[in-house]
Structure 1
Amino acid sequence: MAEEKYELITRNLQETLGGDIIKAILAEGKTPKGYWGTACTGRPHIGYFVPLTKVADFLQADAEMTIYLADIHAFLDNMKAPLELVGHRTKYYKFILLNVFKSLGIPTSKLKFALGSDHQLTKEFNMDNYRLCATVTEHDAKKAGAEVVKQVDSALLSGLLYPGLQALDEQYLGVDFQFGGVDQRKIFTFAELYLPRLGYKKRAHLMNEMVPGLAGGKMSSSDPNSKIDFLDAPEVVRKKIKAAFCEEGNVAENGILAFVKTVLIPVSELRLENARKGGSLLEPTGDLKPFATDDAPEGTVFTIERDEKFGGSTHYASYDDLKNDFAEKKLHPLDLKTAVTNAINRLLDPIRKAFAEDEEAQQIEKLAYPVPEKKQKKPKVYHPPPPGKGRNAQAPADGAVPDAAASHAAAEEAKQQPAGSA
């Protein structure tokens, strides 16, 4: 039983540090406690499906999970989220994430939410932070945050505090493991090194792989072309997927394939497993069918629907089968994109619906991400040019006196001539 739970906790991860810590807890028949955190800066996007889908495995293994909204971190991270907006954004994140869990069918009753400010503003935490600052070198702090904190010239001191605060979060949240992307690895090893120096125990660290954005590279909240927002309309999703990089036969840095691997197929597997266990794993909230057609063979986790004149639908029992077909150009990018677009819209439909029906959430979203005011251009005032100047003025002939001077000279000459002279 303990081995099965450990397999659930660690499956599909890119790396596990301190796995023996979790094994020991399970061997004693105890419940491991973990957390996944996010800084509430930009709008959450579908890349969040990757860690949130994995949270379902933790819950299946009876782990107690905390969803940690790092509001203080959001403020410290190079002012990505001004302090006056952080409170609104944490509320927006909570609404979205709860509805993502519902979209996946993950029971939210087994989850709890926590804010960084709940403990990071206490006297005890601040004293521990000072103790940590008296131990950590500038080099180690900067190195730990290199993959997470935005690197700029003349960096703010806040970026150096970021890794230490995250390390101390493990102690103050009372967890046995922290879960995050592999880009968090340096912060995780920082925590393993420095928490024991403060007299606190070392925690395990679980890392999932990073999903490439739609244009290749990291999926980023600050790059609208690299990601799809949870509230993007179906036609916007279709347009973004259509424009995504997905070269025929190329399986490297392919955001479409990566999303199938890390989200769509794990969701399908979870739903198939739920069906086999009589619906005991997931909450019956909406569409809980795998991403396979009704006529697909048993065990299908993903179906590419095609017209019979193009060879008919193809059913895949694993990601490797799909990937191999794509690499061998048996699966065309357009067919893959169509299937992925439909699957993503199925996942997003209940989230969009919940938002459309919740006026409070709509108001929170406006406060969290206000539309920047456009700077009004000052009206141009026309100033006529002086006499003889400007675009339409004629240039004087060679040796001629300019118009204004000539007029003045003619007037003086007229004054000196006697009346009636010609």
Structure 2
Amino acid sequence: MSAENAEKVEEITEKTKETRELILRNLQESLGVDKLTKQLETPGKVPHVYWGTATTGKPHVGYLVPMRKIADFLQAGLKVTILFADLHAYLDNMKSSWELLKCRVIYYENVIKALLQSLDVPIEQLYFKKGTEYQLSREYTDDVLRLSAQVSQRDALKAGAEVVKQVESPLLSGLLYPLLQALDEQYLKVDGQFGGVDQRKIFILAEEQLPKLKLGKRWHLMNPMVPGLTGTKMSSSEEDSKIDVLDEPEKVRSKIMGAACSRDQPDNGVLSFYNFVLFPIVSPNAIEIENQQFFDIDSLKRAYLDGKLDENTLKTFLADFLVNLLEKVRVRCDTDVVRDAKEKGYNHSTDSTEPAIPPSEAPKIPSLSSEQKQWKDQLLNGNEILIGEELDRVLADVSPQKPLHLMFIAPGKGRFHLGFIAPLLKIKEISDAGGVPVIATILVSPLEAFLDNEKVAWAAIQSRAVYFREMFISLIKHLKLDGLVKVEIAGEHDKYLDREYVLDFYKMASAVSRDESTVCDGNSLSGNLVPLIYALNAQMTRPDILIIGADSQVFADLCSRLLRSFGYPAIAHLLIPTIPGCNGQKMSCSIPDFLLDPLDTPKQLKTKIARSFCEPQNLDGNVAMQLAEHIVFPILNGAALHIQRAPDNGGDVEVTNYKQLEQEFVIGTKNEQQFPLHPADLKNAVVGVINRLFDGVRADFAEKPRQKLVTDAFSTSKGKKK
């Protein structure tokens, strides 16, 4: 500490020093003490601290350790909020119903109040809060998503290393846990957080990351890790290791007398209890055992190690002390409210080992009418459908009055390009074929683009969504799909990020591992959330069939498993071909130089396609031929493709399908002579068809309001690149 800082510390009042000493005593570590000191010195400022606990098992005597410190905080005049992490309790294998957890919260609140009152602590500044009162809100969820983009998988895993069970491929919920605990500081409007030293890395994460979101930096106070009376951690899940706060005196004495108290381990559970519970309670007075007075743990430990106190004497005194203290608690909890909460919250018949959410049963295969069977054959003809068993389920309800609902979810990562036209063309193909009645929705959801390495900046999500929506609306008009296809923005759906949506988000995070959800490049934790948002949007809208690119099969598989895990029917997925960029790889927003943007000038589009790979008579990796097969012929919809070429090259040629084009390109058929189609002539024909479609979009976006939409969509920082 510098001389200047030392001088500043010395300037504080004696009252502040005494208060600070009371707050910090018996802690193992404190971060941000300067900030705490400043707050204590500020007239009218009442520092606010929180401590959290999951409402799982019943509170045990191990709770006396943090309660003793909370008593210090209250006596020091701090405002204290105790957070009941009921959401975490619910997600703990999802074995507890919300009604059961509601009863447990009542039980916890009454027991904790009784504990503190039995320590003669004023509780006027003590407050209680349930996590679900704010953790399922859209605002909180937005901040979870924003924070996840700043934190890597590695850092999230490291932060929770001491409090989350470590396995080779951890559950995604375990990686999110430290982020939620950090954000609780903001939403509880506290100045600091208190916990065990095992949470130090979570506290560090909060101090480093929250200021980046302009959410402030708090101080953190840490208790040492205190062993349980059996010598290991006192756990609510291990009956023999804990003494419940409301246990009968005989049971308390029995468990104390069986506790670990070896002279070979002077930091055993019994001596630790003296250190962190008994001495702080009686201070500044002494503990008197067999006519010996002890004012601190060191003198007591010395007497024990020197043989001046034996194990039985130590345990008997501790048992008497606890029985007397807990008797005060039991008297205060001897009410109908507590008895009812305990019975309903911990009745073994209600705390089932079965999950609160039953796994979905295998759906019954419905009977299809002859017409519906024809529709099924039509859909399966030439299409690859994943999770095809769901087809019968949805087709059984389809009729001309209730058309089959197709949906494509567009993430909107960058510039709109030709690849996004492919699902529209597939919808048009199915509709034009007649037979099965269909309607379709394009769901624009740029949140996934933010989560995927911040390819859309947080502030640009809405403007990017509007830009994509208007591009789709223009194309729908020019493809003559009006009335058949509508466009929606996910963020404007009334169920988007509502409580049920967010709860399902955490359920899914509790059911999928880090490795299973790693589908995006990069190390940010947010990338693991992309398949969850996809599945949640699918559940929110419940189309009959989702259209998805052939390269994204992992999303279909994971979506199916997640939905079925929580009792929801899976959704069939129809695969469409991946559209290549002019570099031969998938057309991607991340590589703008090789994508075909409807707002490119005709010359720009021609130049891009002109430099694509198209070796004479070679179909492998031929970009122009792939564009012809998957884009040009679907646009023409049965009309002939007219290809102009010089008479010396065989003259003009017309083809009406891709097979004919293949023949012309590889062999040629003009006038019974072999005139294989030249790549340049093929490319010009492809450019002509695409440009005619794009001309309509360009005209629509020549209007100033739509020009502004494009400007707004890309005016904010693009964030990290792939």
**TM-score, with length taken from structure 1:** 0.76
1:67 matched to which residue of 2? Answer: 82
SS in 1 for 2:193: strand
Higher RCO, Cα 8 Å, sep 6+: 1
1:351 matched to which residue of 2? Answer: 329
Check 1:157–1:85 CA distance in 2 against 1; reply closer, same or farther (3 A cut). farther
1:408 matched to which residue of 2? Answer: none
Give ranges in structure 2 of 5+ residues lacking alignment. Answer: 1-14, 353-722
The equivalent position to 2:174 in structure 1, one of 143, 147, 159, is: 159
Asked if 1 retains the 8 angstrom alpha-carbon contact of 2:95 and 2:351, the reply is no
Q: Deviations over 1:289-322 (max 9, x none)?
A: xxxxxxxxxx42x1214xxxxxxx3221222111
> What is the distance in 1 between the residues matched to 2:123 and 2:162?
31
Alignment of 1:149-298 (within 5 A): 149-152=164-167, 155-247=170-262, 249-269=263-283
2:37 matched to which residue of 1? Answer: 23
1:50 matched to which residue of 2? Answer: 65
> What is the distance in 2 between the residues matched to 1:81 and 1:192?
33
The equivalent position to 2:129 in structure 1, one of 101, 114, 117, is: 114
> What is the distance in 1 between the residues matched to 2:198 and 2:239?
20
TM-fit CA distance, 1:251:
4.3
Query: Which amino acid in 2 is paired with 1:335?
Result: T
> What is the distance in 1 between the residues matched to 2:137 and 2:105?
19
Q: Deviations over 1:209-250 (max 9, x none)?
A: 122112212221112222211011111111111111112x33
Check 1:79–1:374 CA distance in 2 against 1; reply closer, same or farther (3 A cut). closer
SS in 2 for 1:303: strand
Check 1:49–1:341 CA distance in 2 against 1; reply closer, same or farther (3 A cut). same
The equivalent position to 1:123 in structure 2, one of 115, 119, 138, is: 138
> What is the distance in 1 between the residues matched to 2:232 and 2:308?
25
Q: Does 1:332 align with 2:310?
A: yes
> What is the distance in 2 between the residues matched to 1:168 and 1:135?
13
1:420 matched to which residue of 2? Answer: none
TM-fit CA distance, 1:166:
0.7
Give aligned pairs, total. Answer: 337
Q: Deviations over 1:150-173 (max 9, x none)?
A: 334654322222111110010111
> What is the distance in 2 between the residues matched to 1:42 and 1:374?
10
> What is the distance in 1 between the residues matched to 2:32 and 2:226?
24
> What is the distance in 1 between the residues matched to 2:95 and 2:270?
28
1:414 matched to which residue of 2? Answer: none
> What is the distance in 2 between the residues matched to 1:327 and 1:254?
12
TM-fit CA distance, 1:74:
2.0
Check 1:374–1:89 CA distance in 2 against 1; reply closer, same or farther (3 A cut). closer
2:24 matched to which residue of 1? Answer: 10
Q: Deviations over 1:70-100 (max 9, x none)?
A: 1112223444755453222111111111111
Asked if 2 retains the 8 angstrom alpha-carbon contact of 1:76 and 1:159, the reply is no
Q: Deviations over 1:324-379 (max 9, x none)?
A: 11121211000000000000001100222233x3122112111111124999xxxx
Identical aligned pairs, as a percentage?
Answer: 49
1:303 matched to which residue of 2? Answer: 288
Check 1:235–1:257 CA distance in 2 against 1; reply closer, same or farther (3 A cut). same
2:116 matched to which residue of 1? Answer: 101
Asked if 2 retains the 8 angstrom alpha-carbon contact of 1:251 and 1:257, the reply is no
> What is the distance in 1 between the residues matched to 2:128 and 2:320?
31
> What is the distance in 2 between the residues matched to 1:81 and 1:263?
32
SS in 2 for 1:160: helix
Check 1:80–1:104 CA distance in 2 against 1; reply closer, same or farther (3 A cut). farther
Asked if 1 retains the 8 angstrom alpha-carbon contact of 2:89 and 2:96, the reply is yes
> What is the distance in 2 between the residues matched to 1:372 and 1:145?
33
Check 1:374–1:167 CA distance in 2 against 1; reply closer, same or farther (3 A cut). closer
Query: Which amino acid in 2 is paired with 1:363?
Result: D
SS in 2 for 1:195: helix
> What is the distance in 1 between the residues matched to 2:227 and 2:146?
38
> What is the distance in 2 between the residues matched to 1:374 and 1:184?
28
SS in 2 for 1:147: coil
SS in 2 for 1:108: coil
Asked if 2 retains the 8 angstrom alpha-carbon contact of 1:68 and 1:114, the reply is yes
Q: Does 1:365 align with 2:342?
A: yes
2:661 matched to which residue of 1? Answer: none
The equivalent position to 1:323 in structure 2, one of 297, 301, 306, is: 301
2:390 matched to which residue of 1? Answer: none
TM-fit CA distance, 1:10:
0.8
> What is the distance in 1 between the residues matched to 2:210 and 2:274?
37
> What is the distance in 2 between the residues matched to 1:160 and 1:130?
13
TM-fit CA distance, 1:19:
0.9
Asked if 1 retains the 8 angstrom alpha-carbon contact of 2:100 and 2:350, the reply is no
Asked if 2 retains the 8 angstrom alpha-carbon contact of 1:78 and 1:158, the reply is no
Query: Which amino acid in 1 is paired with 2:40?
Result: L
Check 1:374–1:159 CA distance in 2 against 1; reply closer, same or farther (3 A cut). closer
Q: Deviations over 1:112-161 (max 9, x none)?
A: 11111111122211111111122211111122122212334654322222
Asked if 2 retains the 8 angstrom alpha-carbon contact of 1:45 and 1:228, the reply is yes
Check 1:224–1:124 CA distance in 2 against 1; reply closer, same or farther (3 A cut). same
> What is the distance in 2 between the residues matched to 1:336 and 1:81?
39
2:436 matched to which residue of 1? Answer: none
Asked if 2 retains the 8 angstrom alpha-carbon contact of 1:35 and 1:65, the reply is yes
Asked if 2 retains the 8 angstrom alpha-carbon contact of 1:251 and 1:323, the reply is no
> What is the distance in 1 between the residues matched to 2:71 and 2:49?
12
> What is the distance in 1 between the residues matched to 2:308 and 2:96?
45
Check 1:149–1:80 CA distance in 2 against 1; reply closer, same or farther (3 A cut). farther
Asked if 2 retains the 8 angstrom alpha-carbon contact of 1:217 and 1:253, the reply is no
Check 1:222–1:80 CA distance in 2 against 1; reply closer, same or farther (3 A cut). farther
> What is the distance in 2 between the residues matched to 1:88 and 1:212?
29
2:382 matched to which residue of 1? Answer: none
Query: Which amino acid in 1 is paired with 2:230?
Result: A
2:355 matched to which residue of 1? Answer: none
Query: Which amino acid in 2 is paired with 1:329?
Result: G
Check 1:337–1:258 CA distance in 2 against 1; reply closer, same or farther (3 A cut). same
